[in-house]
Amino acid sequence: MEVTSQLQWNPVLADPTGVREAKPRTLGKTMVMDKGLGLLAFQDLLHTSGEHIDMIKLGFGTSPLYPLAVLKSKINLAKEHGICIYPGGTFLEVAVQQDAVDSYFDTIMALGFNGVEVSDGTIQMERRLRNELIGKGIAEGLTVVTEYGKKGWGSTIELNELIETVLIDRELGASLVTIEAREAGRGVGIFDEDGNCKDEELQQVLSAISNRILLWEAPMKSQQVHLISMLGPGIHLGNIAPEEVIALEALRRGLRSDTLALGARKE
C-alpha cells in the first residue's frame, strides 16, 4: 500500500486524551535542554520532534562555546519550527557577575535569539536588578522566562518568596516562571534526594499559584509520569533531554502504559 500525504492516524489513536493542543499552544509546553548537540543532531531533533517542542534552552553557559555559524544555524532552525530558543539563565548570571549585561543582550539580539531566561540560581540578585533584566528583555522584544529556586543541593521552595516572585515577574511581563530542578532532578525544589516529588510542597504551591504560569523542570521519566498523572497533560515541563521528547509526548497523550488511563473512553 502506497503511503500518501493524506494518510493520517485516527485522532483517537494519535491522541487518546483528546485534549492535546497544537502549536502555538498555551498549555502543555515542553522545554528541551540542549547541552551541546551538533548541528546535524539538532536538525534531526527538529525534523523528528519539532512539533512537540515549544522551547529550547542552551544549557547553562554553553552558548559561547559553539562556532558562531553553528550557533546561528541552530537559532534560525529553532525559529523556523516555531520554537522559543534562549541561553540558560546561568549565562546571564555570569554576565551580571562580570558587569557585561549590555554586551550580553547586544550579542544575543545580534545572534537572533528570541528568548531570554532571567534567574538567580547561583548568585544573589537584588529584586531591583531582576526587575531591570526582565524589563530589558521585554523592551528588546524577547520572550522572557524567569526561574525560581537555587541550584544548591537541598535547596527548597519558600512558599511566600515563590508567590511574591511569580506575581512580580508576571506583572513585569514574564511568560512563564520555571521551578528549578537542575538537569539531575534530585535534591532541589520539589524533588527529594531520590528524585521523588514532595507532593505536600507541590500542593502548597498550587494552592497559591496557577499551574498555567509555572514551568516545572522534570528531567526524570518518573517525575514526568507523576506530574502528568497528578495535574494532567497540560502541565508545562522543562529540562527534557532531546532524546526523550517523543517519549514525553506519548506520556502526555496516554500512549504509554504509565498514563494509558488518561485516554480511557468515558461511558
- What tens digit of pLDDT does each residue of 170-191 get? 999 999 998 876 655 566 667 7
Instruction: Answer yes or no: are the C-beta atoms of 36 and 60 closer than 8 Å.
Output: no
Whether residue 240 lies inside any domain: the answer is: yes
Instruction: Answer yes or no: are the C-beta atoms of 263 and 17 closer than 8 Å.
Output: yes
Backbone torsions φ then ψ of 27, nearest 5 degrees = -125, 155
CATH number at residue 196: 3.20.20.70
Summarised one tens digit per residue, pLDDT across range 114-149 is: 999 999 888 889 999 999 999 999 999 999 999 887
Backbone torsions φ then ψ of 233, nearest 5 degrees = -65, -20
Rounded CA gap, 6 and 19, in Å?
23
Confidence grade of residue 2 (pLDDT, cut at 50, 70, 90): low
Whether residue 188 lies inside any domain: the answer is: yes
The residue range of the domain holding 178 is 25-259
Would you state the pLDDT for residue 132? 97
Q: Are strands 236-240 and 214-217 parallel, antiparallel or unpaired?
A: parallel
Residue 102 or 157, more confident = 102
For the chain, percent of residues with pLDDT exceeding 90: 71
Rounded CA gap, 201 and 189, in Å?
9
Rounded CA gap, 177 and 180, in Å?
9
Whether residue 264 lies inside any domain: the answer is: no
* Element at 134 (helix H, strand E): helix 127-139
Whether residue 2 lies inside any domain: the answer is: no
Confidence grade of residue 50 (pLDDT, cut at 50, 70, 90): very high
- Count of domains in the chain? 1
Q: Is the pLDDT of residue 266 over 60?
A: no
Instruction: Answer yes or no: are the C-beta atoms of 131 and 170 closer than 8 Å.
Output: no
Backbone torsions φ then ψ of 29, nearest 5 degrees = -75, 145
Q: In what order do the strands lie in the sheet with 84-87?
A: 84-87, 55-58, 30-34, 236-240, 214-217, 176-179, 143-148, 115-118
Q: What is the pTM of this model?
A: 0.91
Whether residue 205 lies inside any domain: the answer is: yes
Whether residue 11 lies inside any domain: the answer is: no
Q: And the C-alpha cell for 101?
A: 549585561
Average pLDDT over residues 157-168: 84
Q: Are strands 30-34 and 214-217 parallel, antiparallel or unpaired?
A: unpaired
Share the mean pLDDT of the chain.
90
Residue 73 or 200, more confident = 73
Q: And the C-alpha cell for 152?
A: 544548591
Whether residue 10 lies inside any domain: the answer is: no
Summarised one tens digit per residue, pLDDT across range 78-98 is: 999 999 999 999 999 999 999
Whether residue 8 lies inside any domain: the answer is: no
Would you state the pLDDT for residue 54? 98
Residues 6+ apart with CB under 8 A from 139: none
Would you state the pLDDT for residue 18? 94
Confidence grade of residue 263 (pLDDT, cut at 50, 70, 90): confident
